[in-house]
C-alpha cells in the first residue's frame, strides 16, 4: 500500500513539474499595431544568398495596442522602406527569461484596400447602374457564404468537395438570379453552369488521383497539417479550390450564351438549327478569350516560381512533374474544360427553356452585362 502511495506522489509531482517546465519553455507572442515615429539607422549588408546587397532599416515605433500601448520600441533589421507615420503590425515576443522584443511583420493595408474596393464599387455602379448594384450585392453575399459557410464547414471536417460544390452552386444562383432576375434565360444559364461544374468536379477528381497529387504543393497547405485543421483531406481541398476558382468564368459564359440564344430565337425567320449554329459561333469566340484569361491568370500568379525554375538546370520533364507546377497546369486545364462545356449546355438549355413571345421570361430586356 505504501508503494502505491509513493508511486502516486511521484506521478503527481512529475505532472506538476512537466506542466511548469512547459510553461517556462514556451514563449508568448501577440500581434500589435504600431506607428513608425523615427528612422534612426539605415545600413547595407550582403544578402547572404547571393552577391546582391540589401538595405536594412532600423525604426522607432509607438505601440498603438496591447499591454504596452503608448510605449516606444525599436524595430531592427527591417526590409520595409517605410515613411514616418506609417502604421504597421508588429509581433510582440516575450521569452521565458522575461526578455521581450518586437518584430515588424506587415504594414497596415486595411484602409488602402478599402479605398481600392470603393473605387471598384463606384465604377461598377456607374457603368452597370441597377445591374451593377445587384452585382455588388450578390458579390457581398457570395463572400459571406465563403466566410460563414465554406470555411467553417471545412474546419468542422465536412467533405471539401461536397461543401465546395454546394457553395459554388449557391453562389451561381445568388449571382445569376439577383443580377438577371427570375427568367427563363437565367434558369437555362444556371442549370447549364451547374451541370458544367458537376462534370468539371468529376474531371478534377480523376485528374488529382491520376497525377497522384498530395495537396502539399503550397506552404499554406503544409502549415494546415501543423494546426487544428490537420484532419482536412488536402487532396479534396485542392479539388475544392479548383472548383471555386472557375465559378466566375462559367457564370459569365452561361449567361452570355443563354441571352444570345434567346435573342436569336426571338428573331423572325431563323430556324432552330441556324440559331444553334450562330449561338455556338459566338460562344466559341467568347470561350477562346476566357481560356486565355484563365491561363494567363494562373501564369501571372506563378510568375516568381517560373522565373526561379527558369534559372535552374532542371529538365523540363522534371519541372512539369513537380507538383507545384503540375497543379497550376491542371487548374488551367480543368477551368478550360468547364468553360468549354458550358457553351453547348447553356445554348441547348436556352433553346429548351425558350417560350415564344416571352423573350426569355418575365422582366426580360435586351441588355446584357457580364458579371464576373
Domain shared by 204 and 147, yes or no: yes
pLDDT at 12 over 70: no
pTM score, whole prediction: 0.75
Domain shared by 194 and 329, yes or no: yes
Domain shared by 94 and 177, yes or no: no
pLDDT, tens digit (0-9, with 9 covering 90-100), for 128-157: 888 889 889 988 999 999 999 999 998 888
Residues sharing a CB contact under 8 Å with residue 160, sequence separation 6 or more, in sequence order? 154, 232, 233, 236, 237, 239, 240
Q: Which domain holds residue 60?
A: 28-109
Is residue 119 within 8 A of residue 126, CB to CB? The reply is no
The answer to the question of residue 330 being in a domain is: yes
Whichever domain contains 87, its CATH number is 2.40.50
pLDDT, tens digit (0-9, with 9 covering 90-100), for 263-318: 998 888 788 889 899 999 988 888 888 888 888 888 888 888 888 788 778 888 88
The answer to the question of residue 3 being in a domain is: no
Domain shared by 130 and 104, yes or no: no
pLDDT, tens digit (0-9, with 9 covering 90-100), for 236-268: 999 999 999 899 889 989 999 999 999 998 888
Whichever domain contains 344, its CATH number is 1.20.1640
Query: Of 31, 33, 39, 37, nearest to 88 (Cα)?
Result: 33
The answer to the question of residue 317 being in a domain is: yes
pLDDT at 75: 86
The answer to the question of residue 359 being in a domain is: no
Domain shared by 190 and 245, yes or no: yes
Domain shared by 250 and 315, yes or no: yes
**Percent with pLDDT over 90 in the chain:** 37
pLDDT at 343: 92
Domain shared by 263 and 233, yes or no: yes
Domain shared by 265 and 249, yes or no: yes
pLDDT, tens digit (0-9, with 9 covering 90-100), for 28-69: 888 999 999 988 888 887 766 666 778 888 888 999 998 888
What are 146's three cell numbers? Answer: 465563403
* Mean pLDDT of the region 64-89: 87
Q: How does the average pLDDT of the chain come out, rounded? A: 82
Domain shared by 67 and 33, yes or no: yes
The answer to the question of residue 345 being in a domain is: yes
Is residue 261 within 8 A of residue 347, CB to CB? The reply is yes
Domain shared by 252 and 280, yes or no: yes
The answer to the question of residue 55 being in a domain is: yes
Domain shared by 217 and 333, yes or no: yes
Indicate the number of domains in the chain: 2
Domain shared by 236 and 287, yes or no: yes
The answer to the question of residue 9 being in a domain is: no
CA dihedral 111, 112, 113, 114 (to 10 degrees): 50
Amino acid at each position: 500500500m505504501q508503494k502505491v502511495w509513493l508511486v502516486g506522489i511521484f506521478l503527481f509531482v512529475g505532472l506538476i513539474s512537466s506542466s511548469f517546465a512547459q510553461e517556462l519553455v514556451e514563449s508568448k507572442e501577440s500581434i500589435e499595431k504600431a506607428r513608425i515615429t523615427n528612422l534612426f539607422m539605415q545600413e547595407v549588408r550582403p544578402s547572404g544568398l547571393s552577391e546582391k546587397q540589401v538595405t536594412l532599416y532600423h525604426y522607432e515605433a509607438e505601440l498603438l495596442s496591447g499591454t504596452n500601448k503608448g510605449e516606444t520600441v525599436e524595430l531592427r533589421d527591417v526590409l520595409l522602406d517605410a515613411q514616418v507615420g506609417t502604421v504597421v503590425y508588429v509581433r510582440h515576443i516575450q521569452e521565458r527569461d522575461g526578455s521581450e522584443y518586437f518584430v515588424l511583420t506587415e504594414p497596415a493595408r486595411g484602409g488602402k484596400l478599402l479605398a481600392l474596393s470603393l473605387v471598384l464599387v463606384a465604377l461598377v455602379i456607374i457603368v452597370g447602374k441597377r445591374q451593377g448594384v445587384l452585382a455588388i450585392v450578390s458579390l457581398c453575399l457570395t463572400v459571406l457564404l465563403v466566410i460563414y459557410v465554406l470555411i467553417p464547414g471545412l474546419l468542422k471536417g465536412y467533405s471539401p468537395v461536397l461543401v465546395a460544390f454546394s457553395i459554388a452552386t449557391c453562389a451561381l444562383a445568388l449571382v445569376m438570379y439577383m443580377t438577371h432576375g427570375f427568367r427563363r434565360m437565367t434558369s437555362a444559364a444556371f442549370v447549364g453552369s451547374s451541370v458544367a461544374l458537376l462534370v468539371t468536379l468529376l474531371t478534377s477528381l480523376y485528374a488529382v488521383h491520376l497525377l497522384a497529387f498530395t495537396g502539399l504543393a503550397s506552404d499554406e497547405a503544409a502549415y494546415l497539417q501543423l494546426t487544428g485543421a490537420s484532419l482536412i483531406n488536402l487532396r479534396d481541398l485542392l479539388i475544392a479550390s479548383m472548383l471555386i476558382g472557375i465559378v466566375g468564368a462559367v457564370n459569365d459564359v452561361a449567361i452570355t450564351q443563354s441571352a444570345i440564344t434567346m435573342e436569336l430565337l426571338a428573331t423572325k425567320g431563323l430556324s432552330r438549327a441556324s440559331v444553334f449554329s450562330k449561338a455556338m459561333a459566338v460562344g466559341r469566340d467568347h470561350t477562346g478569350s476566357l481560356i486565355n484569361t484563365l491561363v494567363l491568370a494562373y501564369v501571372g500568379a506563378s510568375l516568381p516560381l517560373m522565373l526561379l525554375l527558369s534559372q535552374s538546370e532542371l529538365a523540363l520533364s522534371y519541372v512539369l512533374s513537380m507538383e507545384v507546377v503540375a497543379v497550376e497546369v491542371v487548374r488551367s486545364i480543368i477551368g478550360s474544360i468547364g468553360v468549354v462545356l458550358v457553351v453547348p449546355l447553356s445554348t441547348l438549355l436556352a433553346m429548351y427553356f425558350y417560350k415564344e413571345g416571352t423573350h426569355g421570361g418575365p422582366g426580360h430586356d435586351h441588355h446584357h452585362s457580364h458579371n464576373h
